[in-house]
A and B are shown apart, each in its own frame.
Chain A
């Protein structure tokens, strides 16, 4: 392992000041960063450990917005009653991250900043149009999460900046949300394909709003505008849902690697998209009055 200096700020403003001053790399849970550093796949001369910044670990509801602090662990998300009732897809996804040891350390902010196309927590955030709030010494900025994620391992996070939190609006009315993931094995599974969906139905049972996001099938987790537009304004019958799922193939560009082939990913993405949409639609129907 290469050498680095290790700084542990105790307050948020101290953290941004240190980041500004040193250009150091943020260490959150470390579940991705530490193995990468050990394998010399990543090097940082200065690590800024945020272990003591408790104020970045929270899940709260504020003005119809759900806000999750960047240092919230996957386990905390998986166990959150508030999230279970507002974004069940995210709860499901967080519960499938690695294993309990990983979930106890790994954080939402780290999962996002790591920018893996297979990041489990990202698809459920994208289908809620999540916003990401970034902080530096001078101030803060907020942008859509889709914009923040640029490519594998690449984000818009700038030197001196940290992720403060992620927020999204609660879905209203007859809504449903779901997440499914396919791994090579059941335990400690890394997604071969993952899909999240959200559907909102109007009073007549037609789709008034929907989003579909897919993991491990492009250079970032991606939304599928084609699938979404195939659903809007229609009743989510099996035929409509199937067609929408098929349409997502045009929005993805999977590759072959040691876990699977591009062809299989494309096929499985369509199947999973259909199942996730059906699950979300069924849940939404249950909320129709």
Chain B
């Protein structure tokens, strides 16, 4: 197995790394880059959304992306969201509404929410449910998660 080189942007910074090709973006984020916000909850099957990151503007499961596929892409993880210490409006809403319990799904849910709001700044509740249907949460029953995303969206300026 020949290792491969991948150059990509992560939270605004370019990185180049070499890796065995059979590793996923999730593994590289967690093991090589120390970005442990994205989680593995389903064993890399794309069934839980806990590893959701934004890849070229779109929400993806980082467990379903081989590292070679990231070449030239721009990746945004939860660690990049609150850059200078200030919480992103979504993060703030999750804290304020009480949408966080065990928190294991939270980074993935927030990244999926961010991708949703990028494309649809003022989603209906149905849009929010559709946009987050790939993110499993066992603690909250989703009620306060949907509330938090709605509140964060309402705080954005209307176009």
Contacts and interface: CB of A to CB of B under 8 A. Distances in A.
Interface string B51-94: 01001001111011110110110000000000000000000000
22 contacts: A3-B22, A6-B2, A6-B4, A6-B66, A8-B68, A8-B71, A29-B64, A30-B69, A31-B46, A34-B24, A34-B44, A34-B65, A34-B66, A38-B43, A51-B71, A100-B112, A100-B133, A102-B64, A104-B59, A105-B61, A105-B64, A188-B47
Interface string A102-130: 10110000000000000000000000000
A2 B60 CA distance: 23
B121 interface: no
Contacts of B22: 1-4, 6, 37
Interface residues of A, number: 31
Interface string B16-56: 00001110100000000000000000011111010010010
B15 interface: no
A47 interface: yes
Contacts of A278: none
B71 A105 contact: no
Contacts of B4: 6
A110 to B, nearest CB: 11
Contacts of A143: none
Given A30-B66, A100-B133, A100-B134, A105 B60 contact: yes
Given A2-B22, A101-B134, A75 B58 contact: yes
A99 interface: yes
Contacts of A187: 129, 133-134
A5 interface: yes
A38 B71 CA distance: 21
A27 interface: yes
Contacts of B130: 100
Nearest to A185: B133
Contact of A38 (B44, B55, B115, B135): B44
Given A31-B46, A100-B112, A101-B49, A3 B68 contact: no
A49 B66 contact: yes
A8 B66 CA distance: 12
Given A3-B20, A6-B4, A6-B21, A98 B46 contact: yes
A6 B2 CA distance: 8
A105 B44 CA distance: 15
Nearest to A79: B119
A267 B78 CA distance: 46
B20 A188 contact: no
Interface in A26-69: 27, 29-31, 34-35, 37-39, 47, 49, 51-52
B107 interface: no
A180 B153 CA distance: 31
